[in-house]
Amino acid sequence: MMKWLVVVLALVAFAECFHKIPLIKGKTAREALHEQGKWDEVRKQHPYNPMGKFYQSGSEPMTNDADLSYYGVISIGTPPQSFSVIFDTGSSNLWVPSTYCSSLACNNHKKFNAGQSSTFKWGNQPLSIQYGTGSMTGYLASDTVEVGGISVPNQVFGISQTEAPFMANMKADGILGLAFQSLAADNVVPVFDNMVKQNLVSQAMFSVYLSSKSEQGSEVVFGGVDSSHYTGQISWIPLTSATYWQIKMDSVTVNGQTVACSGGCQAIIDTGTSMIVGPNTDISNMNSWVGATTNQYGEGTVNCQNIQNMPEITFTLSGHVFTIPASAYVRQSNYGCYTGFGQGGTSQLWILGDVFIREYYSIFDSQSQYIGLAKSV
């Protein structure tokens, strides 16, 4: 009842003061590299390691699986300098390219010019972030950051000095992390945490809607929910760890048969990963059950003509059932059809990425430490 009360109050209180960031779904890095004939070469040089962001170290690691393609626009500095960023619930730091960076990836993106901002302040700590396909290094600084009409003064963020070659193919300039402060490099207070601490939003929650098939309308809402993006009841799932947005997954089933996560496992709702990622053996089993063949990169390939005959996959999260049809978990492109399941090595941690989130509107409540999921429309 308390969770429903929170939602009702949120809908009433925020009807006139939502802070929305429209998201754009552009051509993915995978598609761009395919067109250039470089995809196989990049895969060999930079093996995909989707679990990279979940390995703890002295700095906050993140990952990129070649399909991070939802991004929105923020601004930094006075006067404001605009950047496109991926809103990533699987990491906690904000960083953008800078004029101090000469990497090809930086040259392909907008660069923050510290000398042109009257509110810019240098930090005194370096920043290093590891990706599944490379890394970035740089420095911490602070400035005014504007997100969805919300102005956050003195926000600590990273400006890059070097970036992995793979980032040259990404549409977004940088990344804005929306996980908890405990994961942030150098214990930096994340942007959303500062919004809450400074009473810039009425409720300590944000929500994400990801459209399908390049349709318009994807958005992040800070301070509430947008009821036009979901139908039916919201299922509230408690966090098992307030670090990433981590929850308990009971099982993965196909046609009533458990095909993965037998006996239960941990999962993370992650807007910064495109696929559903799990242990190699479980993902191979899932691909087999839906009729996919695993290629040399661990990708499940299917006959595009068979999609309508492929079964649904059901994910049970803390007793709540969420079903994904084949039309949602198979990606169709000019280069073939692939399942949206990625191999994560031997780790038992699962990532429920954009393949899942496109089907279920996701509400992230940091105060109550719950995730709300409802069927997207």
Which residues are identified as catalytic? 88, 270
Side-chain half-sphere of 134: how many Cα atoms within 13 Å?
Answer: 19
CB 273 within 8 A of CB 19: no
Instruction: Give the C-alpha separation, 290 to 257, whole Å.
Output: 12
Rg, Å, the chain Cα set? 20
Closest alpha carbon to 64 in 92, 82, 91, 26: 91
DSSP states of 102-118: -SHHHHTS--B-GGG-T
DSSP letter (8 states) at residue 279 = -
Classify 67 as helix, strand or coil.
Answer: coil
Instruction: Give the C-alpha separation, 338 to 292, whole Å.
Output: 8
Side-chain half-sphere of 70: how many Cα atoms within 13 Å?
Answer: 30
Q: Can you give the length of the chain in residues?
A: 377
What token pair was written down for 122?
A: 């240098």
What token pair was written down for 142?
A: 């602070």
- By CB atoms closer than 10 A (0-12, 13-18, 19+), residue 232 is exposed
The tokens 């995978």 sit on which residue? 30
Buried-exposed string 210-219: b where 16+ CB fall within 10 A, e elsewhere: bbeeeeeebb
Q: Which residues contact 82 (CB under 8 A, 6 or more apart)?
A: 73, 74, 75, 110
